Structure 1
Amino acid sequence: MDNVIKHPKIAGAIRALLGKDFALPPTISNHRVVCPQPAQNWHLDGGAKHDGQLNTLLVFYYPEPCPRDMGPTEIVPGSHFLYTRTNRFIGHHGRIRGSYHTTASAGTIFLTHYAIWHRRSESWGAGVRNNLKFWYWRTSPPKRDWIKTPGFNLSTAEFEFSNSHLNPDAPTFRDQFYDCADSANLYTWLCGKSDEVNMLGATAWPINFKADRWNFPKQYGAPEHILDD
């Protein structure tokens, strides 16, 4: 498994999210099931936190192909922003609009926030499904030291929740514009400068500047100074 947990492509993504000297998984569990099986209840793994930070990544690895009929893990994108006190408040839900089945070819790795809502989806195929699950931890304070995209402009960056690459009809499950605020708060925290940002509210940054009712060339109140390294 060393070639998996230390693979350059996955290590680079984790380095950008968790900073330098991140901790490697101390254990790996195989969520092995013999299909067919009913769906699990929706749940968060134990110890999930809702504090606007990113200190732990939950990772799923499929060593073999996992098509839909083999019950891949089902997640609700963006659900890590939804405060959930205990699993009994979400376990009773059945199908959730906007959920995503992590169907995969052999060798696929999914990186998720530790507080993501997830479950094993129902399966109707025959055979064994292996799904290896492990974690990475942050060991250093957040700092904007990842590879930067040339020309990135904080005042026009879109913080609106977008699941179009997975499910274009997915809702945010949050009050109006809170998806923008949640994403922007996490971004400024990852920069290590959340204490330097004061969101003004109303239609100021980070409201999506492409919203139909406005046509802002830039967003008022964008803390562009946090990009000055």
Structure 2
Amino acid sequence: MDNQNRLLTDEQMRQFITEGYLLLKTDFSQSFHEELIANLSEVYSSEGNPGNNLLPRIPQLQKVFDHPVVSGALTSVLGEGYMMHAHRHGHFNNSPKPGGWHKDSYWGYKRMRNHRPWWAMIMYFPQDTPVELGPTGVMPGTQNFDSRTFTSDESRGEVTAAGEAGTFVLIHYDIWHRSTANLLGKERFMLKFEFMRTQAPTVPSWDNRELEWVTPAAISDAVYPNEAMWRDAWYWLSGREEPQDSEVASPVQVASLLEQLRSGDAEERTKASDRLAVLGAAAVPYGAAAALERALEDEFEPVGINAAYGLARMGDDGVEALLRALEHGEGKASRLAGYGLSVAGDAAIPGLTRVAGGADEDKVFYAVFALGELKGTSESEEAMRTLAGLASHESARLRCAAADALGSVGAWSGKKPHSVGVEALSNALRDEDAQVRFTVGLSLSKWGVQAEKAVPALIAALDDSNRYVRAHAAEALYYIGTDKAKNALLDFLRPARWCPTTTPASTFYP
């Protein structure tokens, strides 16, 4: 095994963008996995699930995450300097019944889920895991949908992480997944670790050979067409603006698509909204913007998502339509407008800042999310003051959203220091709500050395009663990286040193 990261190829990145997962494999020896399984079995039988202490209790697991296939895949998707989150969990499955479809929590569901890959998870299988042993199942292409766009007994779709020992599935954090039935009744371990991007991408971090987006020739039948969204993810991950393409639309073509958009068949509407989204500004003269604005309210979520991304590609007409939907739309339409505005470019910032200063909590929530995703927010003093002010709002949900957005703003490399943002985050480390406090730690990690003035507040947070506040404060000190931050981190870690061989049966000797 060599030590050089094995970065993903363009083809693999396209699959990750469209389908939300990759099934990959390490090349550890059989003896490595036999020892790992033996240690897992001993710990689980004598001590129970070690939870967040999985890694220090089973220290050879670190070799898994140092493996060039694993680290290369994570670097490709999340960039250099990604964070291994403090939450880890070893799943033990011996149930003959499948688990329920779900998305994993962000500890309270108080944050808006990202379409762009800020987060990823790895589910690692240390034993041979045929389908009959109950591997994890994922539903391709569902990472960007809040709603269930499928049924559990649908024949098309589900992919299982079946494979030899050392197989792992890398997933977009928000993909729908479940445990499948263990029909063999033997022990099956799955080791779940989650990871977060700490810097916004400025260059491709995978083995990028082709600059432009190319739709994969083979996509799972379960995946609905979301071409405009896929393009946004590709160019965002590349650190490049999408080139102005030469899409041409004719009145007849657009009229046909608008008719298809009124179909009673959800899949036909999805195809029509997808094509209109790709045409973008070329379709505006023929009434496409108004039609997509109405489509934000479609009962089938993939149609509404295509509409949001399509409007984001329609210039001022699209931005105005999205802002109307954000301010005056109901429920789903307002939320999807937030996604559209988050990719619509800096022209959306003044309108979003206005909405973020309003009184409707849901609409403020969506506007704050969009501001966090826009690179130009850091250049807008009004937007930064608005986000900083919301970090002390009476609503814990909005305080958390503001802290999260300030972190995303801070993740752009080459950014200028914003004392107002760092000050707001530092103050929020004393928030009464634990989720606000631990969101702040993650956000300050993205600011890096620019958050040096937050070090005293982070040091105080190392004594917080919440385990994730403490963990995220420690991570922030690591990413800030000044002498004062590193010394404080070492002082925190030294008395907390973990001995992986100390157990109730062996407390101190040998």
TM-score (norm 1): 0.71
Q: How many Å separate the matches in 1 of 2:244 and 2:208?
A: 24
Question: Are residues 1:183 and 2:234 paired?
Answer: no
What residue is the counterpart of 1:80 in the other structure?
Answer: 143
Q: How many Å separate the matches in 2 of 1:205 and 1:18?
A: 27
Question: Are residues 1:140 and 2:199 paired?
Answer: yes
Question: Are residues 1:129 and 2:192 paired?
Answer: no
What residue is the counterpart of 1:159 in the other structure?
Answer: 215
Q: How many Å separate the matches in 2 of 1:148 and 1:75?
A: 25
The one-letter code sitting in structure 2 at the alignment partner of 1:114 is Y
Percentage identity across paired residues of the two chains: 23
Contact 1:159 1:181 in 2 (8 A): no
Q: How many Å separate the matches in 1 of 2:103 and 2:155?
A: 15
Q: How many Å separate the matches in 2 of 1:31 and 1:90?
A: 26
Contact 1:44 1:118 in 2 (8 A): yes
| Aligned pairs (5 A) from 1:36-55 | 37-47=96-106, 49-55=112-118
Contact 1:67 1:103 in 2 (8 A): yes
What residue is the counterpart of 2:121 in the other structure?
Answer: 58
What residue is the counterpart of 1:9 in the other structure?
Answer: 69
Contact 2:103 2:177 in 1 (8 A): yes
The CA deviation string for residues 105-142 of structure 1, in whole angstroms up to 9 with x for no partner, is 10112111001110011221121111111101101112
Q: How many Å separate the matches in 1 of 2:100 and 2:122?
A: 19
**What secondary structure is seen at the aligned counterpart in 2 of 1:26?**
strand
| Aligned pairs (5 A) from 1:200-215 | none
Higher strand content, 1 or 2:
1
TM-score (norm 2): 0.34
Aligned-residue Cα RMSD (Å) equals 3.0
| Structure 1 residues 161 and 57: CA distance shift in structure 2, 3 A | farther
Higher helix content, 1 or 2:
2
Displacement of 1:27 after TM fit? 3.5
* Higher alpha-carbon deviation: 63-72 or 25-34: 25-34
Q: Using CA pairs under 8 Å that are at least 6 residues apart, name the structure with larger relative contact order, 1 or 2.
A: 1
Aligned length: 190
What residue is the counterpart of 2:132 in the other structure?
Answer: 69
The one-letter code sitting in structure 1 at the alignment partner of 2:186 is G
**What secondary structure is seen at the aligned counterpart in 2 of 1:93?**
coil
Segments of structure 1 that go 5 or more residues without pairing to the other structure are 208-220, 222-229
Q: How many Å separate the matches in 2 of 1:161 and 1:102?
A: 22
Contact 1:78 1:161 in 2 (8 A): no
**What secondary structure is seen at the aligned counterpart in 2 of 1:146?**
coil
The one-letter code sitting in structure 1 at the alignment partner of 2:237 is L
| Structure 1 residues 90 and 204: CA distance shift in structure 2, 3 A | closer
Q: How many Å separate the matches in 2 of 1:91 and 1:3?
A: 37
Contact 1:188 1:197 in 2 (8 A): no
The CA deviation string for residues 199-219 of structure 1, in whole angstroms up to 9 with x for no partner, is 869669968xxxxxxxxxxxx
